[in-house]
Structures are given as C-alpha cells and as structure tokens.
C-alpha cells in the first residue's frame, strides 16, 4: 500500500484552510484525514488543523493492526465526533473563532476493505480499472437540488450556491456523519480531495486526469498542478491511497 498527499494554497487565496494527515501502519492498514476549514482566515485554519490533529491523536492511541471490524467502525466515529467537540468548544471559548467549522473525510483501509466517515462537501472517490465511483455524497445545497431533480449534476458544478454546505464539523455540539464501507482490492486507488480540486472536474474528467500519470508518486502533486492550471481559485488538497 502507498499513500501520497499534497495540499496547496492555490493561486487566489492568501492562506490555506485545508489540512491533511495520513499514516501507513502496515502493508494492509492505513488511514488519511482531509479537512477543508471555514469561518474566516483564522477560524478556517484552526478548525481544519485541530480536527485532523484530534483524529490523528485518537487513531495513534487506539488503531491497532488486530482491531476488529466493529471496533474499527466505532473508533472512526469516536475520532470524528471527538474532533467535532474539540472544534466546537474552541469556537465557544474564543470570539475570534466563533462560527468556525470544517468538512471532514476520514478514510481507513484495512485488509482490502475501505471505511469512510464523512461530513461536508469534500469527497472520496474509488478508482478501479477504467471506472471512477464517488463514494461520498456531498452534504450541500446543490446536492439537495440535484436529488430533488431541480438541477442536473452538470448544472450543480457551476451553481452560484455550490459552496453552501449543509453539514460541517465543529459548528454544532453534535454532528451527523455518514459511515460508508466498500471493498478495496489490489490495483484500486482511493482519491480524497477538497472542492478546490473537484470543482474543476466531472468524474470522467477526474479519471482521465488520474490515468494521465504513469507514476503513482506523481498523482497528488500532478492533480494539484492541474487544478492550478484551471484557475486555482481555492485551496487544493489531494490524498491518494493505492492498494498495490
């Protein structure tokens, strides 16, 4: 298993409110967390970084190679909900941080199984052969409009309210999360990203971009570079887990 990640401020923002941490624990066990902060320059930075650090702290203490499936699912939820409490409490204690929050994508891959805990509009994709699957569903206003049949997915990409999310870590004392599991076989790729990447691509375009790189080591940086070539209007974060 291989993990690569890259985060970049982009071309128009003054600071980077994205944050990413990841770790490979063995050839069959790895995790990654991607967060995209919001709530002003300071708030967004703090929310995303503190959420990732709290998730990392708990996983480093409790994620072991022999952990059972049920225990792993419980641990992932515990880590994300603990991060929610930490960020929310910080926002209540400091007026400068009031209202801050962040998207969260936590992925753990273990023994050819993918597990995801998700809130917000950052995304997790699975790439297998010539197929790309969006594993997560955006928690956003435009996604609700798509599900209601009021706009198409293509229209959603350019909708003026596309950045309005309906769930975020740290905004409320409790957080509703999606918990997802799927297979993760040899040769497959997990791609995690903030909307600084996904806003520029349809799924098919993203698949083509991934397949344009011959070396795995090029993927994360290469996708960031493509997003910047397309305008780089937001912070860009990409994490890639490859089951080789």
pLDDT tens digits along 97-123: 999 999 999 999 999 999 999 999 999
Closest by alpha carbon to 105, among 240, 210, 242?
Answer: 240
Closest by alpha carbon to 104, among 89, 92, 88?
Answer: 88
Instruction: Report the percent of the chain where pLDDT is more than 90.
Output: 91
- With cut-offs at 50, 70 and 90, classify the pLDDT of residue 41: low
Q: Give the Cα separation of 198 and 203 in Å (integer).
A: 8
229: Cβ contacts below 8 Å, ≥ 6 apart: none
Domains in the chain: boundaries: 2-241
Supply the pTM of this predicted model: 0.96
Closest by alpha carbon to 120, among 78, 83, 71?
Answer: 83
Q: Give the Cα separation of 10 and 14 in Å (integer).
A: 9
- With cut-offs at 50, 70 and 90, classify the pLDDT of residue 214: confident
Domain range 2-241, CATH class: alpha beta
List the beta strands (DSSP E) in the chain.
2-8, 18-26, 29-38, 101-102, 104-110, 113-119, 123-128, 131-134, 178-183, 189-193, 236-242
User: For residue 61, what pLDDT is reported?
Assistant: 97
pLDDT tens digits along 121-144: 999 999 999 999 999 999 999 999
Closest by alpha carbon to 134, among 200, 177, 182?
Answer: 182
Q: Which two tokens stand for residue 144?
A: 């609700």
Pairing between β-strand 113-119 and β-strand 123-128 as defined by DSSP bridges: unpaired
Closest by alpha carbon to 180, among 86, 80, 88, 100?
Answer: 80
């Amino acid at each position: 298993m291989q993990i690569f990640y890259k985060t970049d401020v982009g071309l128009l923002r003054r600071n980077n409110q994205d944050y990413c941490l990841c770790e490979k624990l063995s050839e069959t066990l790895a995790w990654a967390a991607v967060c995209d902060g919001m709530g002003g320059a300071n708030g967004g930075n703090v929310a995303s970084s503190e959420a990732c650090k709290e998730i990392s702290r708990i996983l480093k203490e409790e994620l072991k190679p022999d952990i059972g499936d049920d225990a792993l699912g419980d641990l992932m939820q515990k880590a994300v909900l603990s991060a929610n409490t930490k960020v929310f409490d910080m926002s209540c204690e400091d007026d400068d941080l009031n209202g801050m929050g962040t998207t969260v994508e936590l992925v753990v891959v273990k023994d050819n199984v993918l597990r995801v805990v998700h809130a917000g509009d950052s995304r997790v994709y699975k790439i297998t052969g010539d197929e790309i699957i969006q594993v997560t569903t955006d928690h956003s206003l435009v996604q609700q409009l798509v599900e209601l049949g009021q706009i198409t997915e293509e229209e959603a990409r350019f909708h003026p309210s596309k950045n309005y999310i309906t769930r975020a870590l740290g905004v409320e004392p409790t957080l509703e999360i999606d918990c997802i599991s799927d297979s993760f076989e040899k040769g497959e790729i997990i791609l995690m990203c903030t909307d600084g990447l996904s806003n520029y691509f349809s799924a098919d375009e993203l698949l083509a971009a991934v397949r344009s790189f011959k070396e795995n080591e090029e993927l994360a940086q290469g996708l960031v570079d493509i997003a910047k070539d397309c305008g780089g209007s937001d912070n860009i974060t990409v994490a890639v887990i490859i089951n080789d």
